[in-house]
Amino acid sequence: MSDPLIRIEGIAKRFTGRDGAVATVFENVHLAVEQGEFVCLIGHSGCGKTTILNVLAGLEPASDGYVFVGGREIRGPSLDRAVIFQSHALMPWLSVAGNIAFAVTSRWPEWDRTRVREHCQKYIDLVNLTGAERKRPAELSGGMKQRVGIARALAIQPRMLLMDEPFSALDALTRGLLQEEVLRICAETKQTVFMITHDVDEAILLADKIVLMTNGPHARIAEIVANTLPRNRSRHTIHKEPRYYPIRNHLVDFLVSRSKQLNQDMPADYDPKSPPLVTPGLDEPPPAASAGPTRRAEKAVVVNLRH
């Protein structure tokens, strides 16, 4: 069996306060991500999700442990790892094509203008922004700005795409449309993705694996949920899948109660180097029709968690 594209081995992050006390955000984090996998990381605020993403991006070092991409240890930022942040982070004086071209010429400085323009156009078309090439960010909607960010990240053809809640600032309709776009693009490009989200439904829609973090401080990976839904899923029909609600129930239950409990008391056989891989709903019967009110209550709980 080939090695995973990404190997996280025992990383931790600690900060020293003004009083000299050391605070451990997370510790003993181990994770492997295979080539072409879409992995979502879920946990409460304060468990170090964004810090883990920054370590993967090479933007800040871990206090302990190592991260390897393609067998090479991460020692700083690299064009092999592209990041899409919560805000679009576009340069306001450049057009759509100019923002993407800036990244492309950083990746391939030897390319001439014609080749850069043709390469940029390929990714502008991929995110359905054809016709908006000359527009500046001030002329774009929030969803269009994030499309530019996605196109810019994909245009440098990274080995790993890192996404830090990229749709959290968008309205529900735009967020749903971009989630569908990301599904389509990842299916076409076989892109490896590591994404942070607070949205349970978003994770179920997009991810192959959902990594669950206990509460901080001293947060750890509690378990990894394998998404057993068919890969060609849609936000319009996903709720009709028999395994959808067992998976959703499992995630909500973890966020509501188990994330705190497991932070304080892990099972005796817990091994941080091999977190449990669970498949909720795989061997369970479909939920009964009377589960409707429970589902509505769940959604209310998730809304409260997000705020």
Q: What are the tens digits of pLDDT across the range 205-256?
A: 999 999 999 998 999 999 999 999 988 888 888 989 999 999 999 999 999 9
| pLDDT for position 1 | 55
Distances (CA, A) of 14 to 64, 216, 246, 302: 9, 12, 36, 29
Strand partners, 84: 163
Mean pLDDT, the chain, rounded, equals 88
pLDDT at 23 over 70: yes
Rounded to an integer, what distance in angstroms lies between the CA atom of residue 139 and that of residue 108? 28
Instruction: Centre a 10 Å sphere on the Cβ of residue 147 and count the other Cβ atoms it contains.
Output: 25
- HSE-CB for 96 with a 13 A CA cutoff: 25
Q: What is the pLDDT of residues 177-207, one digit of tens each?
A: 888 888 888 888 899 999 999 899 999 999 9
Instruction: Count other C-beta atoms under 10 Å from residue 85's C-beta.
Output: 15
Residue percentage of the chain with pLDDT more than 90: 64
DSSP state of 281: T
Instruction: Place 58 in a pLDDT band, splitting at 50, 70 and 90.
Output: very high
Share of the chain above pLDDT 70, in %: 92
Single out the residue of 228, 99, 200, 198 nearest to residue 151, CA to CA. 99
Helix (H, G, I), strand (E, B) or coil at 29: strand
Determine the average pLDDT of the residues in 79-84.
91
Segment 279-298 shows an average pLDDT of: 56
Query: β-strands 72-73, 64-69: how paired?
Result: antiparallel
Which tokens sit at 67? 């991260």
55 and 224 Cβ atoms separated by less than 8 Å: no
Residue 298's pLDDT band, with cuts at 50, 70 and 90, is: very low
Q: What is the pTM of this model?
A: 0.87
- 113-125 pLDDT tens trace: 999 999 999 999 9
Q: Look at residues 95, 104, 106 and name the one whose alpha carbon lies nearest to residue 145.
A: 95
Instruction: Give long-range contacts, CB 8 A cutoff, 24+ apart: 117-121.
Output: 119/155, 120/151, 120/155, 121/97
Confidence of residue 293 (pLDDT cuts 50, 70, 90): very low
Q: What pLDDT does residue 291 have? A: 46
CA 266 – CA 54 distance, rounded (Å): 27
Query: What mean pLDDT do residues 38-56 have?
Result: 94
DSSP 33: E
